[in-house]
Structure 1
Amino acid sequence: MERTLKVLDGKWTTLIVRELLSGPKRFGDLRAAMGSPSAKTLTDRLRALEHQRILTRTVYAEVPPRVVYQLTEEGESLSDVLDAMLRWGEAHPLTED
């Protein structure tokens, strides 16, 4: 469980994985789909996920350069975890204090 919590640490990290579950995406597409986190925050989270082997970063030799992020097999296996989190959240909605 510790590894799972470390990988999914933080709001943006979970959203990155959620977005990439639907397929490879470019930086700008990810940022727009997530509500525009700062470029630095998104870059930091993407680098951390790449280091943890959750996603790959592919740079294409084009002008301008094209960079695409895609989940690895290990990253795709987080789908079940996110589905369980969604089901739990739907079954236990937040209450207003």
Structure 2
Amino acid sequence: MHHYLVNASLQIVPVVRDRHPYEWVDEVIAIIQSSGIKYEVGPFATVLEGQYDEVLKVIMAVNEFLYQRGCAEWISNIQLQIRSDGDITGEEKTAKFTQP
């Protein structure tokens, strides 16, 4: 795949009773934070921005982390936006809605 910037929305929904789901989500956010790619945590999902392979690497790392740590079950909701001929950024899509 190309080396342009892409956007992805990643929502992790733990289907567990062993601990509060937010605890799993907090650990996932720490994985994202340590990845070095641009991200924005929202109330329902985290938006990732970076090169295609970098973004997919983070998504794979998150799922591998949950598996390795023994999370019994989770749902990964992923949206990925790709532009064939250039970068696509979150700012480009939301700048006109930013409050002063």
Task: Return the TM-score normalized by structure 1.
Answer: 0.31
Instruction: Report which of the two has the higher share of strand.
Output: 2
Task: Return the TM-score normalized by structure 2.
Answer: 0.30
